[in-house]
Chain A
Amino acid sequence: MESAKVIETLGLRKTFRDFWRRPVVEAVKGLDFSVRQGEVFGLLGPNGSGKSTTIKMLLGLLHPTAGEIRVLGAAPSDTRVKARIGYLPEVSHLHPFLTPRETLMYYASLFGMSHGVAARRTAELLTMVDLAHAADRAVGRFSKGMARRVGVAQALVNAPELLILDEPTSGLDPLGCREVKDLVRLLARNGVTVLMTSHLLADVEDVCDRVAILDRGVLRAEGQIADLLRKPDAVRFLVEGLSEEEASALRRELEARAGCRVQQDFPAMSLEAFFLQVVAQDGRLRTFEMAPFLQAEHVPGKGPA
């Protein structure tokens, strides 16, 4: 059975206009795509390809020039739907003089949470994004990555069913990136649908089930990551513990069998893995802990009206 469509767009267009209503740029040109319940969907594309514009239309921040949008079965401006969405903007827009604690309390109250619930979630989220030590400093003086962490926390304050992340890893250190990616996977396992944009292909490859590639407002490709990336006629073996001579002998044998050239290389560790290993030696690598309220048990079919 195909799972329900959480996001669906039909012929979505956005033309930005100037003061005199003359068209300036056509940022999105007839976009059709859908995101299904429970999947992690990546929206890829070069700078200025219309990713953020699309997301802002999904949230009702921008009004489409043409086309249709359904988010969780309703129009994007419906506040009941927005109560079930978490949104991390491209740039963390925060009130500069508020502390992270006050920021999260503020956003929690926009969801109508009681003070007690809001305070508990705030504390849990601050621990989760590793900002408990800076909880009472004004965010206006935060580093980019710290502000980003506040942004991630505020997107989760309502335990959303649909999480929309606009470049979630931008500005984060490798540890933070790893944590955000782990978080996305964990949430997805808990049934949260995630839509994220990025131009860091490695990030997308790590976490997304399906991707769409946008270029200058047009959808160029869409599909399961595994399908898109598979080379249909190539096979790769990974063998550990061979000496250089043994490896060469093996390659010659394979070439003789297959009747064509066989490539041989010595794979290096990725820089990310190396970085994490080095930092972990100092004992700094936190084991990532999800806020308890985000780990709640499966409650089928129970969503706010």
Chain B
Amino acid sequence: MIRPPQTATGVWRTLKQAAAIAGTTLTEAIQQPVALLILLAAVLMTLLSPVFQFHRFSEDGRLARDSGLACMLVFGLVLAAGTAGRSVADEIARGTAAAAIGKPVSRVTFVLAKWLGIFGVVALFWCGVLAATLLAERCSAHFLTLEDFSGYATDPWTLVSSFLGVALALAAAAAGHYWRRRRFGVGAFAGVALSQVAVAAVSGFYNRFGQLYPLHGEAACSGCGGEHAHAAAGLVWYHPELNLRVLPVALLVLFALAIFAALATALATRLQTGAALAVCAGVLILGLAGDAFTAGATALSLRGLLAGVLPDVQHFWLCDAVARGGRVAWSYVAEAGAYAATCCAICLTAGCLAFQDRDLG
């Protein structure tokens, strides 16, 4: 008899399996041209909003911020549902899922690892679009009253760097593919997302007039809540002029995307990609319409039932809360996180059950 292989067992093996499946799912998903197109569309639309700023909406930068967050939610939803369809429904149809289940992988591990991989794709996308949103708000025209300047000021430096970052990331991925035979899709997707994060980080070294810190005198800043100026009193070395109040709002969007990824994964164990996407879109619309739709519904009516079953997307869409200096409390974010975790758990349990007795042939 042949010597049995030295392998891990128990929990450790399950973790290794999950990591392998999630990693392969992530690379395969971002390798798809359509994933890159979705990311590029979201980032570029967000970055273009300060260029085509038609309306102030009663607050400087609000248009850029809101459209960035909207892109994050809508494109993120398409990405999550599309990736789930491709990497669960299509793999079941193609047989790669059967190949994995033929190995010592339990069906539960498979579904959870798939969700993890899909969530990884969405999280990478989210990082890129969040950075782009922060940058777009910074680059929008803000009305400033400083000692030597008064009027609308944009931030062309940062805006150009953001676009350059996208172009450079694509060029680097192409170069890596040409010379090193690296995968273009993977390099481009990760590169575009990370380029925005990098530009956002670097933008803290200079102000919106392109002057490098440390600066004496007033440095215009619209990012600290109120539109104020940093006086010469404290020397500023690094000051990312980004509206970090967006962060909790964006985190809420990420939670919503996690729920949709779980929902799409569960649906894709039984439905085709298109059907899974359609159901997700339906849930988004009903969930956003939530309040209006279910207001006054008693628990026993059909509307009440729907209200109980659908995740309430309203909880995760708090764009208006950060308007005009408003903040979202972290305690609220924590509560929403718990709600999202519950929704994910419910969806994934349903997905595991649906996959458990599915024939893979």
Which of A's residues lie within 8 Å of B, judged by CB?
16, 52-53, 56, 59-63, 79-85, 87, 89, 91, 93-95, 97-98, 106-107, 109-114, 117, 121, 136, 154, 158-161, 187, 190-192, 293-300, 302-305
Contacts and interface: CB of A to CB of B under 8 A. Distances in A.
A300 B3 CA distance: 9
Given A112-B16, A161-B1, A89 B104 contact: no
Interface string B97-133: 0111111111000000000000000000000000000
A13 B24 CA distance: 35
Nearest to A93: B95
The 10 nearest A-B residue pairs measured at CB: A112-B13, A93-B95, A112-B8, A296-B3, A191-B1, A109-B20, A79-B104, A83-B104, A82-B104, A110-B103
B7 interface: yes
Interface stretch (B56-64, B300-308, B320-328, B353-361): B353-361
B36 to A, nearest CB: 14
Contact of A190 (B1, B95, B100, B183): B1
B2 interface: yes
A111 B1 contact: no
Given A61-B98, A82-B103, A112 B7 contact: yes
Nearest to B99: A93
A154 B96 CA distance: 13
Contacts of B103: 82-83, 87, 107, 110-111, 158
Chain B residues touching A, range? 35 or more
Given A61-B359, A91-B95, A97-B31, A304 B101 contact: no
B264 to A, nearest CB: 20
Contacts of B8: 112-114
Contacts of B101: 59-61
A290 B20 CA distance: 27
A302 B3 CA distance: 8
Contact of B102 (A89, A295, A304): A89
A298 B17 CA distance: 29
B150 interface: no
Contacts of A83: 7, 103-104
A87 B269 CA distance: 23
B5 interface: yes
27 contacts: A16-B359, A56-B360, A56-B361, A63-B357, A79-B104, A79-B106, A82-B105, A83-B103, A85-B102, A89-B99, A94-B99, A98-B24, A106-B24, A107-B99, A110-B100, A110-B104, A110-B105, A112-B13, A112-B104, A113-B5, A114-B6, A114-B8, A158-B5, A161-B4, A187-B2, A191-B2, A192-B2
A68 to B, nearest CB: 17
Contact of A305 (B9, B12, B19, B102): B9
A62 to B, nearest CB: 5
B17 A112 contact: yes
B17 A62 contact: no
A159 B2 contact: yes
A138 B350 CA distance: 35
A60 B356 CA distance: 10
A121 B21 CA distance: 20
Contacts of B6: 113-114, 117
Contacts of B181: 136
Contacts of A53: 361
Contacts of B28: 95, 97
A191 B31 CA distance: 42
A106 B20 contact: yes
B9 A61 contact: no
Contacts of B3: 159, 293, 296-297, 299, 302
Contact of A94 (B7, B96, B98): B96
Interface in B56-113: 94-96, 98-106
A110 B98 CA distance: 13
A291 to B, nearest CB: 11
A109 B104 contact: no
Contacts of B357: 63
Nearest to A57: B361
A206 B5 CA distance: 29
A234 B129 CA distance: 81
A12 to B, nearest CB: 15
A24 to B, nearest CB: 12
A112 B12 CA distance: 8
A156 to B, nearest CB: 10
Contacts of B106: 79
Interface string B177-191: 000010100000000
A113 B360 contact: no
Nearest to A27: B361
Contacts of B13: 111-112
A89 B100 CA distance: 11
A62 B361 contact: yes
